[in-house]
Chain A
């Protein structure tokens, strides 16, 4: 074919790119991976280190409001972890951490209990119904998160839609105080994070080979037991992925507790915000954030690492 062309003046674009990459010492495969890695490095890893750096500094009335890393104004070595020591000694922080973890854990369990049947149901529908239902799950994302939380305020409030309805049908005689209670907070978080539970679960359950359930039934296993011993274990990766996607952001959630929870809802997100904007204590605020990051992400990463290893290992 190529011999039909009398003069080959230029190489195809792909080949040119290859040469260019080779010239700067890169294989094409490496180049493809490089882009997302660069992105992650610039917008995730570097900011993390900046926050880590700030968390090791002290406040200063200056611009920026913390001591530099080096130079005469820098923090003496022996005081470098002072912020973290304060974290451990002050009950306020510990209570805030506890509240946040509890909120996130309970919300994750609620999301799982509500989301699993939904994901299961969607995965068992006919393909056309399936995409319609998935669209319904994703649809709320088209409106602003904040607006949706405000909508919940008007639903749950003393003169809100829910109370009006319950009063009208005579279930209650006095409006219920739901807004500004932990209940409202749970409703808000479960509502906001449910799609993050449903989507990974759905994509896992949808792939499941239905003939496995037939095989189980064939061997004398009743449907409910088959669900417990076949479906649930096989959907474990989906359960873990969904739970992490709900749990991790729920720990640091700021808006929902702030708007739906009462003024006494002391969450770690609020602590970070208060330290940062009201106290102008950037280093303390950063230390709170770094501590929660380390406390959450490292155990989760280790867990996943060992889980993968256990799955790969042949006996």
Chain B
């Protein structure tokens, strides 16, 4: 994961520059369908050349937000600006955007080639140029040999690639991709991810990519926006989102996490002490969170930041939770241990298999201590 996230860190972080002008400004946008609020007061700035991932569960309003950017839905309230132009009265065919539809929306009466060429022909691009551009984009998605087929003669993943090619070929200023790679196998998906990043670097196109797949969001994006029931709950670089989730929802949604309920015993600028009966130990964190003593908190600890030991640690009343090994899942490069703590709560701990072999083998039903560093837990107030 570290290697994947390195991308976000090496890119200059325009969003932290107060003088930078956002390319897309979404201001307090709400969309209602009847009484149902699909997008709830979303405000978001996206900068030129970003690859912004929208992440969230099914039905949380990702597609609806994209459709408002593309111009197929009008916000019930709020404003959308692209390149400082208010989009309210701009029809889809005049917006500087291209969208890849979640349902692909390929024209069934046209061949793959005609589908991809459609957008270029609307701009009266010379035929020669249409031919070469369509050819090269079909090569990129590895669909050249199917150029003369109709959509109904293709597999799901092939259709997805055609839809992707059709939206990419016009090289618009803003590309909206709704689940662009969901139907592809791992190898093809990685190759296509690579191509998308290539295009972004080469042409400086701004991307907004909707995905269910958090790993994909981590790999691709400069920043991630996590959505939950119509709202954006956190925006940040993949690293920020992963390391410092701001809510239980985000911590739980991104990657796997162990959550303990507790209340604050001590909250000093340099540390916090949390009593968490669920964990069976006090949790000590080496930075303050500024909250009232006695306040209810949740502590999130990633499974890979936990350690297992059979011997009772020295300062065993802090950051070491006793339990019994209830399951071990071998995952190739690492193993996942399921530990039942004395409180009855189950936690997951991952350890690399190199270490597993080196140390005293921990086995089913062994009594163990789950430990972690004081800088690993994140305390969450909601």
Contacts and interface: CB of A to CB of B under 8 A. Distances in A.
A216 B101 contact: no
A219 B149 contact: no
A219 B98 contact: yes
A216 B70 CA distance: 12
Sorting the interface of chain A by its residue count into under 10, 10 to 19, 20 to 34 or 35 or more gives 10 to 19
A80 interface: no
A218 B122 contact: no
Contacts of B107: 212, 215-216, 230
Contacts of B72: 214, 217-218
A219 B109 contact: no
Contacts of A212: 105, 107-108
A216 B118 contact: yes
Nearest to B176: A218
A314 B152 CA distance: 10
B118 A221 contact: yes
Most chain A CB neighbours (cut-off 10 Å) among B70, B71, B109:
B109
A315 B70 contact: no
Interface in A74-118: none
B91 A219 contact: no
Interface in B148-194: 148-150, 153, 166, 170
B101 A215 contact: yes
A233 B114 CA distance: 14
Given A209-B105, A211-B101, A215-B101, A222 B93 contact: yes
B103 interface: yes
Contacts of A214: 70, 72, 92, 101, 105
Contacts of A223: 93
Interface in B57-91: 70-72, 91
Interface range on chain B (Cβ under 8 Å from partner): 20 to 34
Contacts of A225: 122
A220 interface: yes
A221 B149 contact: no
Contacts of B236: none
A221 B105 CA distance: 15
Interface string A141-172: 00000000000000000000000000000000
Given A214-B72, A315-B148, A219 B170 contact: yes
A211 B105 contact: yes
Interface string B242-283: 000000000000000000000000000000000000000000
B17 interface: no
A52 interface: no
Contacts of A218: 70-72, 92-93, 97-99
Contacts of A234: 108-109
B315 interface: no
B35 interface: no
Contact of A215 (B97, B105, B148): B105
A113 B97 CA distance: 36
A209 B105 CA distance: 8
A182 to B, nearest CB: 37
B123 interface: yes
A222 B123 CA distance: 11
A230 B107 CA distance: 8
Contacts of B99: 215, 218
Contacts of B149: 314-315
Interface string A191-229: 000000000000000000101101111111111010000
B119 interface: yes
Nearest to A314: B153
Contacts of A230: 107
A24 B216 CA distance: 62
Contact of B93 (A209, A221, A233, A315): A221
Contacts of B123: 220
Interface in B98-152: 98-99, 101, 103, 105-109, 111, 118-119, 122-123, 148-150
A216 B119 CA distance: 8
Contacts of B93: 217-223
Nearest to B169: A219
List 7 A-B pairs, minimum CB-CB distance, nearest first: A219-B119, A220-B122, A215-B105, A217-B92, A211-B105, A315-B148, A217-B93
Interface of B: 70-72, 91-93, 97-99, 101, 103, 105-109, 111, 118-119, 122-123, 148-150, 153, 166, 170
7 contacts: A212-B105, A212-B108, A215-B101, A215-B105, A216-B107, A219-B122, A220-B93
Given A214-B105, A219-B118, 14 more contacts: A212-B105, A212-B107, A215-B106, A216-B118, A217-B72, A217-B93, A218-B71, A218-B93, A219-B98, A219-B122, A220-B123, A221-B93, A233-B109, A314-B149
